[in-house]
Chain A
Amino acid sequence: MEQLIEQLKSQIIEALNFEDLTPADIETDAPLFGEGLGLDSIDALELIMLMDREYGIKLADPKQGKQIFRSVRTMAEYIQEHRTK
C-alpha cells in the first residue's frame, strides 16, 4: 500500500504538471481538491484518465470521482481494490 501511495504521488505530479512539487510535498491524507492541492474540474478528468491508463480502471460516472479523489489514500485504496493491471 505504501509503495502504491508513493507511486501514485509521482504519477499525479506528472499527469497534472506540478512542476514545483515533489512527492514529499503531497500529504497522503490531505484533500486533493479545494484547499489541499487546489485541483479543478479538468484535473479531476485527468485523474480519471490516469486511473484508466495506469491501472485499467474505467470510471463511467465522473461523480464517482468525488469520493475516490478525496485524498491520495482514498485513491490508492480504490485502485488496490479495482485495478486490472
Chain B
Amino acid sequence: MIYCAGHSIISPLGEGTQANIEAVQAGRSGLKKYTDRFADVEPFCASLFDTPQDFVPLCIRSIELALNEQIIKCENAQTIFILSTTKGDQLDLWSPAQQIAAHFHNPNPPIVVSNACTSGVCAQITAMRLLESGLYRHAVVVGCDLQSRFIVSGFQAFKALSPEPCTPFDPNRKGLNLGEAAATIIYTTEPTDSWRLVAGSIHNDANHISAPSRTGEGAFLCLKDVLNGVQPSEITRIGVHGTGTLYNDDMERIALQRAGLADVPMSVLKPHFGHTMGAAGVLETILCAEMASNSQCTMHNSQIIKMLSGFGGVNAAIRIEK
C-alpha cells in the first residue's frame, strides 16, 4: 500500500485539481472542433490547450502544483521520478524525463513507462512496487501527452476518431476524441490523510495488437486481481476507460459483467477531457478518487477501481481506498 501525498491536473479545463473538479461538476468540456490546427489532417474534435504548450515546462508546472516540499524532498535519492507518456516531447521520451528530473535536482535516472494508453495506471503500479519493495520512499508520477499532426493523422487512418464530442457507452457512439493534459500524483510510503493505492494489475489479451478482446480477457483478469481481498459489492465506483469506440466500450462491459461489477456506478471522463493518452491514467485516477469521496457520504471506506486498455492488447487496473 502506498499513500497519495499530493496531486495536480493541468488541462484545457483548468489549472490545478480543484479547477478541473469544478469544471467537471459544472458539466464543462474541453472538446472543440478544429479545422486547421495541423496541416493535411481532416477536421477533428479534441480537447487542446488554446496556446500550444511545451512538454517539459508543462510537466514541471504540474509537478510543482502537486508537490508539498515539507513531505517530499525531490533532491533526495529516496525519491524516484516516473514519467508516463506515449509520444513524449516530439517523439523523444527519454530526454524530457531526464530534463524534468534534473530540474528538481533528483539524483536518480528517471523511469519512463510507455505502455500505450494504459501507461498512467502502469506508472502508478510501478511506483507501488518500487516503494513497497523498499527501493524508494517517494515517487513523483507525472503523466503527459500533447497532440500533434503525427497522432491525429494516425488515429484518423485508424478511423477511430469521432467528428463530434464522444459519447462513451452510447449505442450510437462514433469513436474517440483526443486530448491534451498533464497530471501528477506524488506517492509515499508514509501514511497521509489522502487516499491510498492498494492493488494493481496488468494483463495482456494475447489476441490482437489493435483490436480489444471480444471476451474482455485481459481486463477481466486485471479486475479479478484487484478484487483480491474485497467483494465486488464493496466497490463504490469504477473509473472505466470509456473511449467511445465501438469495441473498447463493449469489451469493458463484458469484462465488468464477468467480474460481477456490472451494477457499480461508473465514471466516464473522456467527454470532458478527450483521451489524454499518457496522462489519462493519472488524471482519471485523481478525479475518480477525489470526486468519489466528495460526492458520497459513506460511513466506511470508498473503494475505487480505475481501469484502462490500450494498443498492444494491454489492460491495467488499480484499486484505490479512501
Would A and B touch once assembled, by the CB under 8 A criterion? Answer: yes
Decide if B77 is an interface residue (CB 8 Å cutoff): no
Asked if residues B208 and A40 are in contact (CB atoms below 8 Å), the reply is yes
Bound together, the chains give a CA A14 to CA B175 distance in angstroms of: 29
Bound together, the chains give a CA A48 to CA B159 distance in angstroms of: 10
Interface residues of B, dominant DSSP: loop
Decide if A45 is an interface residue (CB 8 Å cutoff): yes
Interface residues of A, dominant DSSP: helix
Across the interface, which residues of B come within 8 angstroms of A62, CB to CB?
A: 159
- Contacts of B191-224 to chain A: CB distance below 8 A: 208-211
Across the interface, which residues of A come within 8 angstroms of B210, CB to CB?
A: 41-42
Chain A contact residues, CB within 8 Å of chain B: 40-42, 45, 48-49, 62
The interface on chain B, measured as residues whose beta carbon lies within 8 A of the other chain's beta carbons, has a size of 7
10 pairs, CB–CB < 8 Å, chain A vs chain B: A40-B208, A40-B211, A41-B208, A42-B209, A42-B210, A45-B157, A45-B158, A45-B159, A48-B159, A49-B157
Closest chain B residue to A42, Cβ basis: B210
Chain B contact residues, CB within 8 Å of chain A: 157-159, 208-211
Give A57 Cβ to nearest chain B Cβ, in Å: 15
Closest chain B residue to A44, Cβ basis: B159
Interface centre among B157, B208, B209 (most CB of A within 10 A): B157
Closest chain A residue to B210, Cβ basis: A42
Across the interface, which residues of A come within 8 angstroms of B159, CB to CB?
A: 45, 48, 62
Across the interface, which residues of A come within 8 angstroms of B157, CB to CB?
A: 45, 49
Closest chain B residue to A41, Cβ basis: B211
Give B160 Cβ to nearest chain A Cβ, in Å: 10
